[in-house]
Structure 1
Amino acid sequence: MSQVSILVFDIFGTVVDWHGSIVRELSAAHPQVDADAFARAWREGYQPAMQRVRSGERAWTRIDELHRGILDEILPRFGLDHLDEDQRARLNRVWHRLDPWPDSVPGLTRLKARFTLCSLSNGNIGLLTNMAKRAGLPWDCVLSAEVFRAYKPDPRVYLGAAEVFDLPPAEVMMVAAHQDDLAAARACGLATAYIERPLEFGAAHVKDVSPDPANTRHARDLLDLAEQLGC
């Protein structure tokens, strides 16, 4: 760890509670809808949509547009196909309004005292900036797949983050709540830290957060990671 100076973070699920945020907003606006099922259905379309971009089937497309396409597909399933354009556009921007996990802001603030902190998300730059402004996320730099025109786990994203700071990959640590993200980062030479987020998909769908010994660190949350890293 002595050589690591940059921490780059996955965002959805790791730093912010996408499921809980969508459930709360949808429940308030449309109480008749199964908000838990809606949130999970929206997220289930995320990887297939990005894969169409990765494969070249679709030209580079920002996450905001991919989210909107998935939203339009699932609205009829939940009896919301009557929503007009303004309502759909506002609902789609819920991804800009996701709430941080309770430990995120204090944990990041402690980590920032020793490390440079940077987002490294598939979310687009506008989305990540709006989210950070609203939630008080103290990034030193906002990096996105949009910068590299490639979606994780494409190596261009992880290696690109190191290149931005003119550092070898070993001096960058990927922090995420998803083992596949960390495995891809590790394959590019980055250090890795796993953050347990057992409730990422809601209390009814508790996630396995078992340690993977291949990771450099395993932490309960971002405050625990800060403690482990001497912050």
Structure 2
Amino acid sequence: MAVIRDIEVVVFDVLGTLVDEPGGLRAGIREAVPTSDEAQVDELLALWQRYGEREQQRIGQGSRAYANTSVIDAEAAQLVAARAGFADPATVARLATAGQRLSPWGDSLSGLEQLSRHFPVLGLSNAAHTALLRLNAHAGLRWHQALSAESVRAYKPAPEVYQLALDNAGCAPDRVLMVAAHAWDLRGARAKGMRTAYVQRPVGDPPMSRDTFDWTFDGLGELVAALTGAK
């Protein structure tokens, strides 16, 4: 079994790593369009995801002024409504907040609880402050601190987002462990000198052969064992 030493603070990505973001968006779309079949739900989900990714990239490239995820989700909900053919304002508004009602993976709550006995545990999310607050409450995520990229008006993998975590951790980057199910996220953390742990999830972005992350785990149980084995 792997044993991880010399880590003082553990930082977690949230969306996809600890909660099922696509599953929650699917549920929101089904609620908004109850007559939809799976093929239509897939189409509408893909529309939502493509839009969100594109707008975050545009912001990162400087071609759009910063807008938080609540604004982008509201725009995505309007696109989905137009494609699906509904316009009821209450239904659109409810759909826009689907990203605040995501379910945790089966090992997320126990993993956070166990790690928090041994380490300061931070969440680091692209979700807006208010969205992250409500998501944490809905999913039951318990942190020592939850950080939103909105604080630096950027989106991961922009370096200033990881610097936000490092500033709050208050220790050397190589004593901070970034945990994520997205290789692109871990690449950004590694570029700032953080240690990196990939955790496999059904909706993650797996490492490529060229990636050199410090550790890879099948779930949070393995991560907890590796981190607490040296305690």
- Whether TM-score is above 0.5 comes out as yes
User: What amino acid is aligned across from residue 108 of structure 1 in structure 2?
Assistant: L
Does the aligned pair in 2 maintain the 1:63–1:122 contact within 8 Å?
Answer: yes
* 1:29 shift after superposition: 4.2
* Paired position in structure 2 for 1:204: none
Q: In structure 2, what is the Cα distance between the partners aligned to 1:168 and 1:53?
A: 29
* Structure 1 letter corresponding to 2:72: L
Instruction: Say if 2:103 is the partner of 1:95.
Output: no
Task: State the alpha-carbon separation in 1 of the partners of residues 210 and 93 from structure 2.
Answer: 39
Deviation at 1:59, TM superposition (A): 1.8
Look up the equivalent residue of 1:100 and give its one-letter code. P
Stretch of structure 1 that moved more, 137-146 or 158-167 = 158-167
- For the Cα contact (< 8 Å) 2:76–2:96, is it kept in 1? no
Match of 1:215 in 2: 213
Alignment of 1:136 onto 2:134: no
Give the counterpart letter for 1:26 in structure 2. I
- 2:25 matched to 1:18? no
Task: Give 1:217 shift.
Answer: 1.5
Shift of 1:26: 2.8
Give distance in 1, aligned partners of 2:175 and 2:206: 29
**Any gaps of 5 or more consecutive residues in structure 1?**
202-206
Contact 1:71 1:92 in 2 (8 A): yes
Query: Does 2:130 match 1:126?
Result: yes
Query: Structure 1 residue 83: deviation in Å?
Result: 2.4
**Aligned counterparts of 2:58 and 2:208: Cα–Cα separation in 1:** 30
2:12 is matched with which residue: 9, 13, 17?
9
How many residues in Structure 1 have an aligned counterpart in Structure 2?
Answer: 223
Change (3 A) 1:134 1:211: farther
Equivalent in the alignment of 1:188: 192
Once the two structures are superposed, the pairs formed by residues 106-185 of structure 1 within 5 Å of their partners are: 106-185=110-189
Counterparts of 2:9 and 2:50 in 1: how far apart (Å)? 31
Q: CA deviation at 1:118?
A: 1.1
Residue 45 of structure 1 aligns with which residue? 51
Query: Does the alignment pair 1:60 with 2:66?
Result: yes
How far apart in 2 are the matches of 1:208 and 1:182?
A: 10
Give the conservation status (yes or no) of the 8 Å contact 1:19–1:40: no
- CA shift, 1:193, in A, is 0.7
Superposed CA deviations along residues 119-165 of structure 1, whole A, max 9, x for unmatched, are 11111111111111121111110101111111111111112211123
Q: CA deviation at 1:8?
A: 1.3
Structure 1 position 39, deviation (Å): 2.1
Partners of 2:10 and 2:67 in 1: CA distance: 26
What's the TM-score, normalizing by structure 1?
0.88
Distance 1:209 1:157, change over 3 A: closer
Measured after TM superposition, the shift of residue 2 of structure 1 is 2.8
CA 1:35–1:183: 2 relative to 1, 3 Å: same
* Deviation per residue, 1:11-70 (Å, 9 max, x gap): 111110011122234324423222233223211222211122222222221111011112
Superimposed CA distance per residue, residues 90-143 of structure 1 (whole angstroms, 9 cap, x where no aligned partner): 111111111111111011111111111111111111111111112111111010
- Distance in 2 of aligned mates of 1:23 and 1:91: 10
1:70 partnered with 2:76: yes
Matched-pair identity in %: 33
Q: Which amino acid aligns with 1:59?
A: A
**Cα distance in 2 for residues equivalent to 1:213 and 1:65:** 33
Given residue 18 of structure 1, which amino acid in structure 2 is its aligned partner?
E
* Cα contact 2:73–2:97 (8 A) shared by 1: no
